[in-house]
């Protein structure tokens, strides 16, 4: 499966997933249509699917135009049927999406929104988590709860460490500034922030990352970290309480 990353708007990414044997091509979270149509035309690909993770406008506003221009089918959470433009196929936990020979497992990962989905391609070791998990961060609570989001992230961190995380936004530098405040003595974090700064200086994306990188440096996946716990004054708290405190602190950072 070929994966093409398309930067759109100020800091969004749309992904085109192309399975060459069948010609099946999916757009993940198309915020806008025109750059997607241009990329398809440049490669001679035909859009067959849209995969939406959640119904926010910066993930679905290109749906209708792409559907009209290409005849593709729109897939997303059945729970959000009334909020996802042009939804044809409602999905939920345990469903599977086939792009030719490439198959994605549909994961329910609520928290950022109540019906949020992620698409996990095991054979390609590729995860499309929308706004649930970011490089060095996670989504705000805009419909779900901190407990739900922690459970979702805890589930995602059980995936293979080599998994590539194709998140939907270029937030890594800002997330890194927050991460430094809660775990400043983490050497892996310091090294990663230097790398991130250099990539951005060169105008390069910092996404995708790998789950291994996130496990070593993303504070929202590290509530067991003794340093984070000390800085929050929550040395004996369960992970979900530490996570909720991190999320609240990030909200006002």
Going across the sheet that includes 24-28, the strands are: 2-8, 12-19, 24-28, 49-51, 73-77, 87-91
Question: Active-site residue 112, yes or no?
Answer: yes
Question: Active-site residue 61, yes or no?
Answer: no
Q: What's the CA dihedral at 24, 26, 32, 34 to 10 degrees?
A: -20
Q: Judge contact between 58 and 52, C-beta under 8 A.
A: no
Question: Active-site residue 116, yes or no?
Answer: no
Best CA proximity match to 132, nearest among 163, 106, 168? 168
For 146, what's the count of Cα atoms within 13 Å in the CB-facing half-sphere?
14
Among residues 49, 56, 80, 116, the one annotated as catalytic is 56
Question: Active-site residue 49, yes or no?
Answer: no
Among residues 29, 49, 80, 112, the one annotated as catalytic is 112
d(CA 58, CA 14): 10
Give Cα separations from 10 to 6, 77, 93, 166, 217 (angstroms). Answer: 12, 26, 31, 17, 25
d(CA 103, CA 194): 36
Among residues 18, 29, 49, 54, the one annotated as catalytic is 54
Q: Is 61 annotated as a binding residue?
A: no
Q: Judge contact between 97 and 1, C-beta under 8 A.
A: no
Q: Is 56 annotated as a binding residue?
A: yes
Q: Is 131 annotated as a binding residue?
A: yes
Among residues 58, 80, 82, 197, the one annotated as catalytic is 58
Among residues 18, 49, 80, 131, the one annotated as catalytic is 131
Q: Is 49 annotated as a binding residue?
A: no
d(CA 75, CA 88): 6
Question: Active-site residue 54, yes or no?
Answer: yes
Among residues 49, 59, 80, 116, the one annotated as catalytic is 59
Q: Is 18 annotated as a binding residue?
A: no
Among residues 18, 49, 116, 169, the one annotated as catalytic is 169
Tokens of 38: 């241009």
d(CA 130, CA 166): 8
Catalytic residues: 54, 56, 58-59, 112, 131, 169
Q: Which residues are annotated as a binding site?
A: 54, 56, 58-59, 112, 131, 169
Q: Which residues are annotated as a binding site for Zn(2+)?
A: 54, 56, 58-59, 112, 131, 169
């Amino acid at each position: 499966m070929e994966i093409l990353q398309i930067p759109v708007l100020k800091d969004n990414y749309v992904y085109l997933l192309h399975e060459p044997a069948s010609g099946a091509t999916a757009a993940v979270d198309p915020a806008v249509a025109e750059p997607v149509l241009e990329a398809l035309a440049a490669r001679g690909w035909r859009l067959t699917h849209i995969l939406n993770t959640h119904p926010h406008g910066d993930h679905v506003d290109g749906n209708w135009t792409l559907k009209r221009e290409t005849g593709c089918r729109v897939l997303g959470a059945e729970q959000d049927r009334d909020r996802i433009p042009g939804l044809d196929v409602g999905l939920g936990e345990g469903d599977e999406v086939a792009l030719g020979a490439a198959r994605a497992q549909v994961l329910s990962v609520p928290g950022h929104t109540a019906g949020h989905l992620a698409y996990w391609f095991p054979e390609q070791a590729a995860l499309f988590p929308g706004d649930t998990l970011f490089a060095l961060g996670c989504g705000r609570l805009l419909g779900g709860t901190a407990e739900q989001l922690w459970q979702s992230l805890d589930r995602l961190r059980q995936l293979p460490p080599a998994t590539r995380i194709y998140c939907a936004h270029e937030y890594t530098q800002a997330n890194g500034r927050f991460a430094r405040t809660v775990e400043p003595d983490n050497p892996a974090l310091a090294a990663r922030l230097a790398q991130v700064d250099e990539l951005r200086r060169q105008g390069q994306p910092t996404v995708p990352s790998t789950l291994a990188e996130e496990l070593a440096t993303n504070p929202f996946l590290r509530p067991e970290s003794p340093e984070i716990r000390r800085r929050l004054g929550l040395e004996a708290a369960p992970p979900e309480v530490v996570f909720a405190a991190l999320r609240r602190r990030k909200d006002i950072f």
